[in-house]
Structure formats: C-alpha cells, structure tokens
Amino acid sequence: MKRFNLLLSLFLLVATIKLGLFSSIKSDQSIFFPAKIFQKLTELQKFKYNRWNLLLIPSTTKVKCGRLKKEFSGFIDSVFCHGELSSFGNYIGDWSQDIIYRQPFLGKADLLNRQNRSLSKLSLPLGADSEEIINLYASDPLEAYVDLIEIVKKGNKAFGSGFQSVSVEGNKFNIYPILPNFPVKDELKLTTLMNTIKSSFPKALVIGPFGASFRNMVRIKKDITMVSVVGAIIFFFYFTFNFIKEGTQFFRVLPVLVNSLLLAIIFNYLIFGQIHGVVLAFSPTLIGLGLDYAFHRLYGHEKRASWRANFSGWVTSLIVLLCLSFSDVPFIKQFSMLLATGLTFSLVLFYLELEVFSSFTPLMGAVKIPKNNFFFKASIPILILCSTLFFFKTNFSLSLNGLEYVTSEIQNTRRSIFGQKNFPKPTFLIDSKKDMARVLSRKTPHPSISVANFFPTQAVAKVNLNSWAQEFNTEGIIQSKIFNPYFENFSTHLKQAPSIELAISQGRSYFSDLLSKDSILSVFFIENDSLASFKEIFPQSFSLGEIADSFPRLLKNELKLVFPISLILILLYLFVYFHFSIKKTIFSILPFLTGLGLQAIGVLFLKEGASFVFLVGTLIVYGLSVDYGIFAVSSLESTKEDHRYAELGIWHAGISTLLGMIPLLLASHPVLFQLGLSCSLGIIGPLICAVYGIPLLKRYAV
C-alpha cells in the first residue's frame, strides 16, 4: 500500500507539472464576479476610457509633468498634470485635422478676428502655463478646443474645479489622471507599472481599476504564501505531536491527504480550466477536513459504525457543497467544488488505505480530552440561545465590497474623491459600430462624451466642409506662421469626403477612448432625478453602480434557494439515518446551533461588519458540523469505552479542522479572513457541544 500511495503521489505531481498547474495560478479579481456582471465589465474594458486611473502623489513631493511622462512612458498613453493643456497635445493635433468638418466657416473677418484675439492672449506673461495656452490657441484659431477639452475633463473625472488635489486624513495629495496603454488583465505589465510608481513615489496611491486589481492581486499572492506556510508549520507540529503521542500509525494519513488534495486540485483544474489562488488558499482547510475521516476511523474501534458515520458526514457536507457549487459566483462554485471533490477523494482513499489494502491497529487515545469542564458545559445552552441572534440581529452585507481588499487609506481617499457632491457619475451606453450614424445624431439634454462630441453627422460635416471649400483662402487669412502648420493640409481635407469612418481609419487619437473593434461607447452624466426618464429612453444603458447593485440581488436569490434546500435535505437525511427519530435528529443539529451562536457573537465584534462570505461559511459549517452531531449521537448507545474512542475521534477531527482554518484568520483579504473566521467559530461550537453537551443527553436519546 505504501508503494501505491507513493506511486500515486508521483503520478499526481508529474500530472500537475505537465498541466503547468502551479505556474498558471490566477490571482485576478475575475473569480469574484458572476458571469453576467463579468461580461458587462469585460465589455466596458474594451474601451480605453475605462483604463483611466488616478495617481495621487503627496503634495509635498515636487513632481514635474515631464518626469511623469518620461518615467512611465512605456506603460502610459497619457498623463494629465494639474489640468495642463499640453497634456492634450495628441488630441489637439488630431482635433485640428477635423476642424473643418466640425465648424462652419464664418467668414474671413470672423476668422481674422479670432486669430488676432488668440495672438493678443499670447502677450500675457503667464509663466509656466503660458506654453500650454500658446499650444491651445496656436492650434486652433477658432478656439474650438476649449469646449472639447472641457468635455474630456468632465469625462476624466479628476479634472475640473476641486478635483486636482484632495485631502485625506490631513495629508494633501495632487491628482494626476493616468491612462495605461495595456489592459488590466496584463498582470506582468500591471506589476511593472505599479512597481515603477512605487519606486519613484513611495507614498503614491493609485485609485481606479488598475490600482484595485493590483492591490488585490498582491494581497491574494501574499495571503496564499502566508496561508500555505503557516498551514504547513501548524500541521508539521500537529503531526509531530501526535507522532510522539500515538506512534508511527499516525503517519499513514499523510500520503493519503497529499494525494486527495492533489487529485482535487487537478480535477478542478480540468473542470474549470484554471485554478485560482483564492481557491488554493483553502488547501490547509481541506487537509484539516480530510483528516476527520481518518480520525473517526483510527480512533473508532467499530469498523462498521465508524464508516457509516463517516459516510453520513460526507453526505451532509456534500449536500451543502453541491448546492453551493451551482452558484453564479465563480469563487463560491470553485471553492465548494474543491472541498466537495477533496472530501470525496479523502473518504475513498482513506477507506482503501485503512480497510482494503492493509490493516491497522486502532489508536488508543494517548491524548486526553479535558473532562467535566463546567465552563464549556454551561456555555452550550447560552450559545444555542445566541444562535437566534444570527437570524434576527445580524446584518450581512451582500455588496461586492465584501470581495475587495481595500486599505483604510484607499477607502478614505475614494470617499474624498468620489463622495463629492458634484462628482459626475457616468452611465454607459454601448452601440454597435454599424449604428454609427444613429450615435452621431443622438441628442440628449445630459452632458455626455461620445464620438458625436468630436465629429458631426455626415450631413452636417458636408455642409461645414462646403462652407470652407467655397470661402477658405489661405492667402490673406493666415496672418502668422504660428497658425500656418494647422492649415497646410486643408486643401487635401477639402477634397475628402467628410466621413467619420475615414477619420477612424486614419487613427485619430481622440476616438481611441470611445471605440473598440466593433462597438462605440457613449458616456452620459445623469443627475439622480433624471435617471429614471433617461433609462426609459435608453433601457440598455447601465452604470457601475447598477452593476454593483445587481450582485446582492443575484446573491440573495441564490442564498434564498441554497439555505432552505440544504437545511431540508440534511434534516431529511438525518431523520432517515436515525430511523425516523425526531429526538436524535434534533440532537444531531445541536452542535451546529452552538457554532451558530458563537458565529452570531463573533459578527458583533467584526469592525467592518460581516459580508455574505461569512454567510457562505455558516452554510459550509452546517454541512460539516452535522458530522460531529452524527458521531456524538450515534455513540450514545455504544459502550463506555467505544464512546470514549468516538469522542477522541470527534476531538481530533475538530482540532485538525480548526487548525486547517486558523491560517485563514491571518489573511488580510476579506474573503479569506471572513470565511476563515466564520468556519473557525462554526467549528469550535460544534466541537464543544459534541464532546461536552451531547453526552449529557444520553438518557433522553436512548
């Protein structure tokens, strides 16, 4: 048998290497978003507009725009410094090419007047910003850019009055909107950019999709490492302790656990095509849970009773985990599938190891359980009473925030920037490129950014072009060589058809934020009062807020189904298992209720409140803790000696499960922490109840 386990381990290790499994561990946030939400976000990410992030640098640090542009040139398309006009350099050059399509020629006198006015403004000694003003006015004697820049400023949020600097916790930061030139999912570039920012400006903050992704990616990676290392250390000491106390017999479980874990990981990789770091962080938990079956049998001196109870524990766990695996949230689906498959492999492999391939001598229980502990006994009824708090007094946040790792500094910064009353809240509308004409002629009273702001309909463009073609004559109009370069191509333009498709094909930079390969993005800034009427006209429009709001709705619907189904199925199973004894069925769920009481108290101490992840933990604990109930209630009818061994099995199973959960409590990512906390509290309660409470009910059960 030893050879079988070793060969299996070797085979599984080769398989994981061949599959490239550990080198392709994901750490992005996509696992937290249901398909419907992720699709919307992916659709938005096609447009560069959604790549804008805010780089916040402490105002005490002297920063020159040129330095920012130079240092991040490989990763950033644009950076805007203090609203400097030169930041629009690329756009201005391209806008000027299409000026004749956008503006009618108002006559020679008018053009001359505008040019002269622009020249007048140049004589003001304005210092550092004057170069930008020159760029602007020199580029456009019609001054059309001013409006366009205002539009872009609105769209890029941090611009406009009040958003160029922000005060957070008494520290003032200057805001520099940056546009990375790569998609957020490019982890390598994201890491390089963020590291470059950190090395140049150690106290800088990045707010936006790139900043959030990076923070979570780094946190997840750190937490995986921490959980794996702490888990390994904890189990090393645990196994060493038990080896000293119980002898070599104990070590038989090790290869089985490793094989079960590897099999579960490979199985999940083959099903989902990926393995995520957050899911992998539950490996110690799986080891702890898998050990349950081994302990129940190693301490159980009755083979049939032990495996019957083990099987029942597996069934109840599986009911909950399978129900959860139908979730639309990939994280819940993958994590419950990992546990379900891991537990199944553990059960099968332990059975083969202990009963089929070889025999074993049951352990005698050298480790003693502290007996007659009054405190534990007295706490059980109190905790069962407290479990009612869980249903009536505990509020769980179902929002997406529960899935994001965010520091208090970032949270306060976001609040300071986005919480401002006049901060524009964008609503998105995505059209097919085939509907370009409709998009160009679309008119709404709301401020918006769309291709229509930059290019008129073909009919209007034609009229404008004709007015220039008829009257424009460079001689006598262009007074200064400052303006000449911008009119050099006019004659070529005049001969062209005024089509936006042509402008797009020539790669005008100002379209790039709003166009993808096959679709067009329009962004509207709608006041709350007008949102309903806007939605009536454009029902397909959506905002980030709406996307976020759809998550709790979706989750609520899922939990509404999963909770009662699991509850009823497990109760039914217990009812049948205990030969239709209502008393024993109720007794076997008392450990779960004790754990629930402890969870309810734990929630009260959570500073940030409990999220739905905590609730998922409760559900999992329900499936697991009934296991202890079954063992404890089943052993009530056994002899005193057998009952002692059953208790030892429960004690060791509970302790090993708890040890598997503890590393998660050290994680900073809210998903790992809350799940770890929920499961840990949820396991301590059942353990106390099964060992100290259930035996007191013997005279009622028999």
Q: Which residues bind other proteins (CB under 8 A)?
A: 59, 62, 64, 81-84, 113, 116-117, 119-131, 134, 138, 161-162, 164-165, 174, 480-482
Cα–Cα distance for residue pair 583/701, rounded to 1 Å: 7
How is residue 160 written in tokens? 């406009």
Q: Residue 67 CB, nearest distance to other proteins (Å)?
A: 11
Q: Residue 120 CB, nearest distance to other proteins (Å)?
A: 5
Cα–Cα distance for residue pair 349/256, rounded to 1 Å: 6
Cα–Cα distance for residue pair 616/631, rounded to 1 Å: 24
Q: Are 605 and 294 in contact (CB under 8 A)?
A: no
C-beta atoms surrounding 136 within 10 Å: 20
Cα–Cα distance for residue pair 329/451, rounded to 1 Å: 35
Cα–Cα distance for residue pair 317/252, rounded to 1 Å: 24
- Alpha helices, DSSP H only, in 247-282? 253-272, 277-280
Amino acid at position 302, single letter: E
Length, in residues, of the chain: 702
Closer to other proteins by Cβ: residue 48 or 157: 157
Closer to other proteins by Cβ: residue 160 or 381: 160
Closer to other proteins by Cβ: residue 115 or 316: 115
Closer to other proteins by Cβ: residue 61 or 530: 61
Closer to other proteins by Cβ: residue 123 or 199: 123
Q: Residue 416 CB, nearest distance to other proteins (Å)?
A: 17
Q: For residue 682, which of 674, 693, 670, 692 has the smallest C-alpha distance?
A: 674
Cα–Cα distance for residue pair 523/449, rounded to 1 Å: 5
How is residue 230 written in tokens? 């702490």
Q: Residue 174 CB, nearest distance to other proteins (Å)?
A: 7
* Chain center to CA of 382: 37
Q: Residue 146 CB, nearest distance to other proteins (Å)?
A: 10
Q: Residue 526 CB, nearest distance to other proteins (Å)?
A: 24
Q: Distances from the Cα of 285 to the Cαs of 199, 291, 674, in angstroms?
A: 37, 10, 14
Cα–Cα distance for residue pair 476/112, rounded to 1 Å: 9
* Chain center to CA of 405: 8
- Position of tokens 């402490």? 58
Closer to other proteins by Cβ: residue 161 or 361: 161
Q: For residue 308, which of 618, 565, 569, 638 has the smallest C-alpha distance?
A: 638
Q: Residue 553 CB, nearest distance to other proteins (Å)?
A: 40
Q: Residue 118 CB, nearest distance to other proteins (Å)?
A: 9
Q: Residue 173 CB, nearest distance to other proteins (Å)?
A: 12
Q: Residue 121 CB, nearest distance to other proteins (Å)?
A: 6
Beta bridge partners of 613: none
How many CA within 13 A on the CB side of residue 315? 15
Q: Residue 551 CB, nearest distance to other proteins (Å)?
A: 37
How is residue 323 written in tokens? 């129900």
Closer to other proteins by Cβ: residue 161 or 395: 161
Closer to other proteins by Cβ: residue 80 or 345: 80
Cα–Cα distance for residue pair 565/580, rounded to 1 Å: 19
Q: Residue 127 CB, nearest distance to other proteins (Å)?
A: 3
Cα–Cα distance for residue pair 650/629, rounded to 1 Å: 9
Q: Distances from the Cα of 439 to the Cαs of 103, 499, 511, 625, in angstroms?
A: 19, 14, 13, 58
Amino acid at position 232, single letter: A
* φ and ψ of 428, to 5 deg: -105, 145
Closer to other proteins by Cβ: residue 123 or 248: 123
- Radius of gyration over every alpha carbon of the chain, rounded to an integer in angstroms: 33
- Alpha helices, DSSP H only, in 325-441? 330-351, 374-392, 408-418, 436-441
Closer to other proteins by Cβ: residue 46 or 82: 82
Q: Residue 330 CB, nearest distance to other proteins (Å)?
A: 43
Q: Residue 479 CB, nearest distance to other proteins (Å)?
A: 9
First to last CA, the chain: 40
Q: Residue 126 CB, nearest distance to other proteins (Å)?
A: 5
532 SS3 class: helix
Q: Are 155 and 50 in contact (CB under 8 A)?
A: no
How is residue 690 written in tokens? 């099964």
Closer to other proteins by Cβ: residue 124 or 188: 124
Closer to other proteins by Cβ: residue 81 or 701: 81
Closer to other proteins by Cβ: residue 83 or 682: 83
Closer to other proteins by Cβ: residue 130 or 411: 130
Amino acid at position 452, single letter: A
Cα–Cα distance for residue pair 193/179, rounded to 1 Å: 11
Closer to other proteins by Cβ: residue 430 or 482: 482
Cα–Cα distance for residue pair 498/495, rounded to 1 Å: 9
